[in-house]
A and B are shown apart, each in its own frame.
Chain A
Amino acid sequence: MTAVTDAFEHCRSALVEGGFVVEDQVVDGLGDVLIAETRYALVMVVSADSELIGRQAEQAQAHLTRLAARHPSPLAWDLYLVLALASDHIRPDGIVEGLLGDTRYARKLVVAGDLAATERGLRALMPLRSVPRIELTDPLGAVRDYLVGAEVDIALADAALTAFEASGEVEIP
């Protein structure tokens, strides 16, 4: 049994932020786990130790699939097991790579580090973040602003831009 890691708590924050309903459970052999779900996915988060991660993953996956089998629904199509490590970084090795590549029963994700790193590790589960929109309505106006800011002679800048708008060519007087 591994003590609750920081990454475990970061997962909680990220999943709540991502619209998951989250519930704490205690599972024999695994200790504190987090069950999170949306209409599309069922997720289980466990704290994991780098040395024991293989066995911990097996135990956790067994619990997750039993849980999904008890309450049949399309959620069983999308099971995710998140292994939250105590270390700052994930050190890819054969075991971790094997876990990440094993998608039978449940897809496995391994997270570690700070909140940002954990969020990035959980990105596959998260809804698309709202991204800032490009708000550029007058591209040549932005060019002029830059030219003037760079102390280009205003008359020269305007002459060049005017010529370009008229003919697609620039003239340098």
Chain B
Amino acid sequence: MTARLKRLELEGFRGFSERCVIDLDADAVVIRGDNGTGKTSLVDGLLWIFCGELAHLVERQRGLRRTEDVVTNRFNPYGATVSLAVTGDGREYVFTRTGDQRKTTLSATVDGAEVTDDSEAHVLLAKAFGLRSPDELRQAVMTWGLLRQDSIRSVLDEAGGALHQRVSGLMGLERVSGFATAATRAAADLVRQRTAARQSRDRIVERHRNAVDLRDEALRAAGRPEEVARLLVDGVRALAGTLAPGVLLKPPETVELQSVGDLGAALGRVVGALDVLRERHEALARQAIEPDSLVADAEKAATDAAEAVSTASNRAPSLVLLASSASELLGDRCPVCEQPIDAVSVRSHLREVLEGAQDLVAGAQAAQDALVRAQAALASAREHLRAREESRAGVAAAEAAVRVVLADEVAFVEVEAEWRDEPGVIALSTLLREALDQLRDLYRSVQQASGAHVARLGDDVDALAAEVATILETLEALEARCERARQFQIVAHDAAQHVLEDTLEVLRPTFAEVFDRLSPSPAFTQLHAKQDVLRNRNQIVPMVRDVERGVEANPLLIFSEGQLNVVALSYFLGMAMNAGEAALPFLVLDDPLQALDVIAILGFSDLCRHVRDGRQLIVTTHDRRFADVLVRKLSPRDALGSLVVQDFAGWTREGPIVNRFEPMPAEVIPLLRRAAS
């Protein structure tokens, strides 16, 4: 893959308000400028094109109200546009991302042909850089393609966890770590299951133990008949003594469980008969109105209705006569006396006739309705009369039944108290029901001491024993799985470490290749990295070694900030140089030299010269001193090399003020050859 970044255009993005075109078409690009002139916005522009987000800025928003968009420019907040022109494999690509923090769209042109579908454009972007998917491209850019100034030290974050994550990103090793982690999860899950099963076993064993104790206690009680007899006799006597005068409960002659049962059954029958009688009394009480008065009321209503009908019948003929008389007076003169007819008088008569007829009709209707109601009331009263007679008969039958039951059960209970009226029935019924309940309690307590209870307890014990056996079997299987999982987890982690160690073995010389050139420490001159697993968490711990004394140390604990930056750069560049198929054809370093001394700056500049032989190098710096050294070191020495310097001279609300210049190749005739000539 020979792709090269050619040009970056930014508008409405971060520090770029108006459209700005940055030429990147060179082996090496040095972007220099003071703080706040837009260098990092340019790097963010590249990041946005490749990843579609600025995750590090979104992270800064955490915990804040999101009132600002991290992508768009404050003076041109109408959406950002960033375009990246790329050449590769003889094709010209232009990728354009538009949008803001919430939503972005990527489009592309390939040799002038447009690709407007966002997904297709992302795939095309990955392929343009030799990668299989947008995710791979994102991983490559974030891990070893683009080093932001605020993330240099992040290579060393999380006590080796970040370094492990980055190394694992190489060649799909994260799946290896993921497998080991999943094995740990599986083992932990089985341990949880085993713990739950053990708790369940403990509960069941405890229940079984309690059941055995209960059964044994019952067995001991059941084995003493005299104890059972004593309980029965004492209980029934005590119960008999508590009953009201007039009711005699007779204890059984034989002190047996069955006798108490018979007594209870007898009492139950008496109470049942009394309950029926009580219900019949209540039904009779609900029919309290005397049916005779109902009949009288109905008959009176019928009489009234008949009178009303009679009145209507009497008035009807006179009205007919009056109407006839009036109709005869309809001529000009009276047919009798030949006197002139008074029309007003005739009309008055006729109106009276009409009103009388209307009253008659209404009266007749009312009388008819009253008659119907009276007939219905009469029927209801007769029905009520019949029901009341039936209730009375029911009460009598229930009383007879109670007498029969009392006679039948006289061997068990004798009632001398008055119970014929309803209050008496209620009192007796309540008294005997309470006695029955107490007898049942006594029966239960005695029964518990009997063999039947022992047998039931034995069944409980057997059932719980079966449960114990089942849970023990389950637990045994779980113990075996746990042990297998524990051993498998160990071997899985060993495997992951082994595979990762093979990769580290390859990477270590590359780390050292960078570190040796920057010489951050006079004693600890070798950099390497070793694996560790702490609390099931894989780490790659950075290590430096004093070769002369054979002493090792973790640079995180002994190095200064500047020295640590060198360590972080060494790991980052080491991975970039050894990313294999996932390597990118470019390397972007955003202000990489922070807090470094002159020696490290010179060493890093020399290193950049070698790095750019293998890939396009883009370096930004705020340090004029470093920029000058870098420009000097990276200036081409023949026509084949190229360097572009973008000088960010200042910043206005429209965006950065950028001056571009391109050092001409400074051809070198080797000194030795000139000396020889």
Contacts and interface: CB of A to CB of B under 8 A. Distances in A.
B419 interface: no
Name, among A73, A89, A107, A173, the residue most crowded by chain B CB atoms within 10 Å (CB to CB).
A73
B144 to A, nearest CB: 12
B525 A77 contact: no
Contacts of B183: 160, 170
Nearest to B182: A170
Interface in A28-82: 35, 37, 39-40, 42, 67-68, 71, 73-75, 77-78
Contact of A39 (B577, B610, B668): B668
Interface in A100-152: 100-101, 103, 107, 117, 120, 123-125, 127-129, 131-137, 139-140, 142-143, 146-147, 150, 152
Contacts, number: 165
A74 B603 CA distance: 18
A143 B666 contact: no
A92 to B, nearest CB: 5
B494 to A, nearest CB: 7
Contacts of A160: 179, 183, 186, 488, 492
B484 A172 contact: yes
Given A124-B606, A128-B577, A168-B182, A103 B598 contact: yes
A143 B496 contact: yes
B207 interface: no
A156 interface: yes
A78 B633 contact: yes
B632 interface: yes
A23 B173 contact: no
Contact of B633 (A40, A89, A127, A131): A40
Interface in B472-510: 481, 484-485, 488, 491-492, 494-496, 498-499, 502-503, 506-507, 509-510
A97 interface: yes
B599 A100 contact: yes
Interface of A: 21, 23, 35, 37, 39-40, 42, 67-68, 71, 73-75, 77-78, 89, 92, 97, 100-101, 103, 107, 117, 120, 123-125, 127-129, 131-137, 139-140, 142-143, 146-147, 150, 152, 156, 160-161, 164, 168-173
Given A23-B672, A131-B509, 5 more contacts: A123-B513, A127-B613, A129-B513, A139-B176, A172-B190
16 contacts: A39-B668, A78-B633, A103-B598, A131-B510, A131-B578, A134-B170, A134-B580, A136-B499, A139-B173, A139-B499, A146-B498, A150-B491, A150-B495, A170-B183, A170-B492, A172-B481
Interface of B: 170-173, 175-176, 178-179, 182-183, 185-187, 190, 481, 484-485, 488, 491-492, 494-496, 498-499, 502-503, 506-507, 509-510, 513, 516-517, 519, 522-523, 525, 547-548, 577-578, 580, 597-599, 602-603, 606, 609-611, 613-614, 632-633, 635, 637-638, 666, 668-675
